[in-house]
Copies of this chain bind each other. A is one copy, B any other.
Amino acid sequence: MSHSNYYDVTTWPVGNPSEDIGEVINSIIADIKDRQTATDENDGGKPGAVIYLPPGDYHLRTQVLIDISFLRIQGSGHGFTSSSIRFNVPKDEWAGLHELWPGGSRVIVDLPPGAAGDSTGAAFLIEREGSPRISSVEFSNFCIDGLHFIPDGSELPAENSYVNGKTGIYVASANDSFRINGMGFIYLENALTIHKADALSIHDNFIAECGSCIELRGWGQASKITDNLIGAGFKGHSIYAENHGGLLITANNIFPRGASSIHFDGVTRSSVSNNRLHSFYPGMVILAGNSSENLVATNHFLRDHEPWTPFLGVDNGRNDLFGLLRVSGNNNSVIGNHFSEVLDARGVRPTGAAPVIVRLVEGAGNFVSNNHVVALDVRAESSDSCFAAQVDALLTTGASDGLAVTTVLVESGSARNTILDSGNDAQVIADRRANAVRATPTISFEPEGAVRSGQTVEIPR
């Protein structure tokens, strides 16, 4: 059916998609280009195509190079299952497992490792110079699986290293209106690395057990990362962006481990709102490199401890004074967030310190208002069962005690900030001569004209 611009990798005459889907797709792209020689100034000529991957296992031994606009590659299943859990099951129990690997429309990346972060180990490389920027390339509803991690020189088992030099999708050139929807990414050192994006949409994907999940590099604007399930490894970022403006990150459920859940470097006028963020380490959201005029609002931050035995003792190297949210920049807004810091006080580092929730490091004019910090001291427990341990930890609230924290710490390098209703007077450490602070009222708060101490409260039933 190539005449209709619809291609099925299992019926294409060149190559064997089970053995090397890269060869098959490159051959299809060559065919599309052969048939798109027309350049029509009146109305058309190069509509692109769709390439379909039915459910199945497809080894990729040749990198796919995409240099045409309007190409959609789609499957019928994001195919996630946890490889991390399985690799930590004793091997003599594998015979009893229902299945061993991810599935769906699954591309197995069988490339030699590239250098971390470069394009050589990428399953899909999108690169085209010249004008216009390559546009409307779409990836939809299939799985990219890096298969194995490799030793990183530490004591960790190889499959827990989050290192393998493989990338799922690497966009090297300036691009416009790309879409990544409904995909699954697993066991890749980098799931998605995209340079110079304009109006990019990364929506409703499942990106987990990858070293880093989403990296927006170079510069870019007006993009969105929405409604994804994301969780990076302990060395990487769930979401990283540099020099982006107008980026919207919302409605994501970002789970551990992730050295950072979201890390901005030089990002301006962007939003991180309405996400659920969970981490085992400090430094969950970092606004670095003069990231300014961003809105961090109505997110749920939870930082608790690692509950799964294979990763006990692993962390991102930051102590509890680093801040769950750390800001180096100007005029950012931090409004209406909930922070839960749920720690075993015995494990706080430096020992005996009061952990910091929001830390303003450099800059001026930030507005931190109406944030609610909950800090609890709970006895850390762990388990060999990943799911049970996580759920158990998540649901533990009952017998916990309060934990002393600094809700907002303003360093001398950051000034003229406004801190409102984000911690009581003792919890906000800031020079009141350099910053405007209104502490959250405590029970003894009694403004004139509103004193009602001793009031008898009638409770209707």
Contact = CB atoms under 8 A, between A and B. Distances in A.
Given A132-B97, A204-B203, A441-B420, A44 B224 contact: no
A164 interface: no
Interface residues of A, number: 178
A79 interface: yes
B397 A330 contact: yes
Interface string A151-179: 00000000000000000000000101101
Majority secondary structure, A binding face: loop
A226 B365 CA distance: 31
Contacts of A372: 333, 335, 367, 369, 418
Contact of A77 (B48, B208, B449): B48
B222 A278 contact: yes
Contacts of A89: 131
Given A104-B72, A248-B251, A331-B374, A300 B276 contact: no
A204 B206 contact: no
A97 to B, nearest CB: 6
Interface stretch (A21-29, A113-121, A450-458): A450-458
Contact of A250 (B50, B274, B374, B433): B274
25 contacts: A4-B8, A4-B10, A6-B76, A45-B100, A46-B100, A72-B77, A72-B104, A96-B130, A97-B131, A177-B206, A199-B208, A223-B253, A224-B227, A224-B251, A224-B253, A226-B227, A243-B391, A247-B276, A268-B395, A293-B338, A331-B340, A333-B372, A336-B336, A412-B459, A432-B454
